[in-house]
Chains A and B, each alone.
Chain A
Amino acid sequence: MKISKDQVRHVAKLARLSLDENEVEVFSKQLSAVFEYMDCLNEVDTDNVEPTSQVTGLKNVYREDEVKTSVDPAALLACTELPIENDQIKVKSVM
């Protein structure tokens, strides 16, 4: 499967990455080679095979919906490099 430069640009936009033209060129070549290799999976007959996303058989693990203290909110807020106002992180305008 060949990945064109336009596809690279499209996927980069979906992933919120801005790539320069050199990166677009390199990724187009590298990803084409990688996806060409992955086509070998088509040799495997997977009709009537269930997909696996969890390997130890756990499902629907619940807990009580209780309020608990975990990390001090002030310590968490101290992790940001952006300005803080009224215990909230101030970001650039959304629109």
Chain B
Amino acid sequence: MTLFTQTIKQAHEGLKTKKFSAEELAQACLERTKEVNGDLNAYVTVTEDVAIKAAKEVDAKIAKGKGIGILEGIPAGIKDILNTEGVKTTVCSPGLKDFVPPYDATAVKKLKEAGMVMLGKTNLDEFACGASTEHSCFGYTKNPWDLERVAGGSSGGSVAAVAADTCLFAIGTDTGGSIRQPASFCSVSGLKVTYGRVSRSGVTAFASSWDTIGPIAKTAEDLAYVLQAMAGQDPNDMTTPPQEVPDYASLLSGDVKGLKIGIPKEYFIEGVEDDVKESVLAAIKQLEAQGAEVHDISLPMTKYAVAMYYIATPAELSANLARFDGVRFGSKPDDEGEDLIDYYFKQRSVGFGPEIKRRIMMGTYVLSAGYYDAYYKKAQKVRTKIIEDFNNAFKNVDVICAPVSPFPAFKAGAKDDPLAMYMADALTIPASAAGVPGLSVPCGFSKKGLPIGLQIIGPQFEEGRILNVGHAFQQVTDWHTKRPTL
């Protein structure tokens, strides 16, 4: 029996019935990681000792005849932007290469309480800014389906780790598509939650009014289990609202009869590759065959989302990183300079990589005197218009189905022009702007054999609804069970 290829649900059954121990499961995943990580570069740190210790605790509990929760003993990868107490958290930034945080992010703390076995920290674009992990100071994560191509980003490490069966689930963050896009590139399931559904406390900020933390797994059902453990209000993050957290697994009926699906024409325009359109439309046909109703809709602001995003989020990034001085934490530069202001210049110039410098420049520019109204305020108003698009759509439909990315995984170096890279987020940014949840599930392959993802978007706090659509789809299709040969 191959332990590491299991879903969370399967592994949980195996642990409960003592088919294997949590330590055996952790060892299997660690060995698998050693076997493939050299090729993939999915993990930047592997935490073998932490994993074995956590697994042994679960085994001790099972040996005493105690019941275990669904995530107890389940091996996971954590994006290296979530603080992990006593374990390096680098954000894949030169200036934080050696940073060891003294506390856990709330999401990590909750997962540990739920019994997760942390295997390691996964690669990302520096400060989660990018769509390919090519902006990581540790080099990019390769796509398990084609090693010449990127895994996507910014949660590329987390996604490749799941796709390559090194762990049973992983945690990522999604600001403009950073879970959904790599999930579609690597043929796994990934959920971007409603803004505020999962606490951001202890997660390094990129754009504070956009950032979300979410799960990546092999099935929509598994996503529900991981979300359950992380979701909810947190006194350490004032933007987590008091909305009740439903029992997500109980919402997975697999029934989509009468569900109204909106198909936005703006997500199927020129620039979206034919293979992508065909697979996504075939997936929607499948849902229709299961009893869903399909309606054509329009989200007219879609084409302005990228421009709006690359004003609004660099502004927030530059404001957040204005407070990063390399004094309280972060690497000290070799040349410490003459005085404090000189220290800041020296530290920041070696501490940030090129994309972060570029975005700090963009953000500082749009917030500077004389340009604030023309750029930043304008972008915030366009954000309101994008929200209105979704509000109008959800008056008539229950969910929206569309492609995740205009194209499948691209080759490393193919998008070295910043603007070309920014366009990779064109179909994921709008949901982020509106703070609504979005799910990416595998729905096919291009003619070249590259994975394609279906995006399912719902109204705020309706994670259960979109997970059920993904679950229903996965009950009758097998795209999510396909694995790359490594």
Identify the A interface with B (CB < 8 A). 3, 7-8, 11-12, 14-19, 23, 27, 30-31, 33-35, 37-38, 40-44, 46, 49-56, 58, 61, 63, 70-72, 75-76, 78-82, 89, 91-95
The distance in angstroms between the C-alpha atoms of A80 and B325, with both chains bound, is 11
13 extra interchain contacts, Cβ-Cβ under 8 A, other than A17-B361, A30-B417, A31-B361? A12-B361, A15-B364, A16-B341, A23-B357, A33-B418, A41-B382, A51-B384, A58-B241, A76-B102, A81-B330, A89-B327, A92-B337, A94-B339
> Is there contact, CB below 8 Å, between B381 and A92?
no
The answer on a CB contact under 8 Å between B340 and A18 is no
B127 within 8 A of A: no
When each residue 374-395 of chain B gets 1 if its CB lies under 8 Å from chain A and 0 otherwise, what string results?
Answer: 0101111111110100000000
Bound-complex Cα distance A95 to B385 (A): 47
In this assembly, does B410 line the interface, its C-beta being within 8 Å of a C-beta of chain A? no
Question: Given the known A-B contacts A14-B364, A49-B384, A54-B209, are A30 and B338 also in contact in the complex, defined by CB atoms under 8 Å?
Answer: no
Residues on the B chain within 8 Å of A7, using CB: 365
A16 CB, min distance to chain B CBs, angstroms = 5
Which of A35, A55, A75, A76 neighbours the largest number of chain B CB atoms within 10 Å of its CB? A55
1/0 per residue, CB under 8 A from A, across B426-437: the answer is 000000011100
A41 surroundings in chain B (CB, below 8 A): 304, 307-308, 311, 378-379, 382
Q: Are B380 and A52 in touch, CB under 8 angstroms?
A: yes
Confirm or deny: B298 has a beta carbon within 8 angstroms of a beta carbon on chain A.
no
Interface of B is mostly: helix
Q: Which residue from A12, A18, A33, A43 sits with its C-beta under 8 Å from B346? A: A18
Name the distance in Å between A53's Cβ and chain B's nearest Cβ.
6
Q: In whole angstroms, what is the CA distance A11 to B366 when docked?
A: 10
Among residues of B, the one whose C-beta sits closest to the C-beta of A58 is: B241
Q: What is the bound-complex CA distance between A93 and B383, given in angstroms?
A: 43
Tell me the bound Cα distance from A17 to B209 in angstroms. Answer: 25
A11 to chain B, nearest CB (A): 5
Ranked nearest first, the 10 interchain pairs of A and B with the lowest CB-CB distance are A55-B435, A51-B380, A75-B102, A46-B381, A79-B329, A81-B332, A61-B238, A15-B364, A49-B381, A52-B383
Q: How far is the CB of A28 from chain B (nearest CB, A)?
A: 10
Q: Is B362 an interface residue (CB 8 A)?
A: yes
CA distance A78 to B103 in the complex (A): 12
B336: contacting residue among A31, A34, A92, CB under 8 A? A92
Known interface pairs A44-B382, A51-B380, A56-B435; A16-B304 also in contact (CB < 8 Å): no
Interface string of B46-69 (1 = CB under 8 A from A): 000000000000000000000000
Asked if B332 and A63 make an inter-chain contact with CB atoms under 8 angstroms apart, the answer reads: no
Complex Cα–Cα for A51 and B384 (A) = 6
- B446 an interface residue at 8 Å Cβ cutoff? no
Closest to A47 in B: B381
Q: A17-B349, A58-B196, A91-B327 are in contact. Are A37 and B307 (CB under 8 A)?
A: yes
Question: Which label, helix, strand, loop or mixed, suits the secondary structure of the A interface?
Answer: loop
Q: Which residue of A lies closest to B103 (CB)?
A: A71
List residues of chain A with CB within 8 A of the CB of B452. none
Task: Let me know if A3 and B365 touch, CB within 8 A.
Answer: yes
27 contacts between A and B (CB under 8 A): A8-B361, A12-B361, A14-B368, A16-B322, A16-B348, A17-B348, A17-B357, A33-B417, A37-B306, A37-B419, A40-B303, A42-B378, A46-B381, A46-B385, A51-B384, A53-B380, A56-B435, A56-B460, A58-B196, A63-B238, A71-B103, A76-B102, A79-B100, A91-B340, A91-B343, A92-B338, A92-B339
Neighbour of B364 across the interface among A11, A38, A43, A63, CB < 8 A: A11
Q: Is the CB of A93 within 8 A of B327?
A: no
Name the distance in Å between A39's Cβ and chain B's nearest Cβ. Answer: 8
Judging by beta carbons under 8 Å apart, are A89 and B328 in contact?
yes
Cα distance A41–B374 in the bound complex, in angstroms = 10
What separation, in Å, do the CA atoms of A82 and B332 have in the docked complex? Answer: 7
Task: Kindly state the separation between the CA atoms of A63 and B435 in the bound complex, as whole angstroms.
Answer: 24
B375 nearest CB neighbor, chain A only: A38
What residues of A have a CB within 8 angstroms of the CB of B419 in the complex?
30, 33-34, 37
User: What's the Cα separation between A53 and B345 when bound, in Å?
Assistant: 30
User: B residues within 8 A CB of A50?
Assistant: 381, 384
What B residues does A92 contact at CB under 8 A? 336-340, 342-343
A88 and B360 CA atoms in complex are apart in Å by 29
B445 within 8 A of A: no
Q: Any chain A CB within 8 A of the CB of B187? A: no
Point out which of B308, B327, B346 has the most chain A C-beta atoms below 10 A from its C-beta. Answer: B327
Assembly CA distance A75 to B329 (angstroms): 11
A81: B residues at CB distance < 8 A: 330-332
Q: Compute how far the CA of A7 lies from the CA of B380 in the bound complex, rounded to whole angstroms.
A: 24
A11 touching B361 in the complex, CB below 8 Å, given contacts A55-B195, A75-B102, A81-B332: yes
Hey, which chain B residues are within 8 Å of A79, CB to CB? Answer: 99-102, 328-329
Residue from the list B342, B365, B381, B435 in contact with A51, Cβ < 8 A: B381
Is B339's CB under 8 angstroms from A93's CB?
yes
Q: How far is the CB of A4 from chain B (nearest CB, A)?
A: 12
* B432 shortest CB reach to chain A, Å: 9
- Minimum Cβ distance to chain B for residue A5 (Å): 12
Chain A residues within 8 Å of B306, by CB: 37
Q: In the complex, are the beta carbons of A46 and B343 less than 8 A apart?
A: no
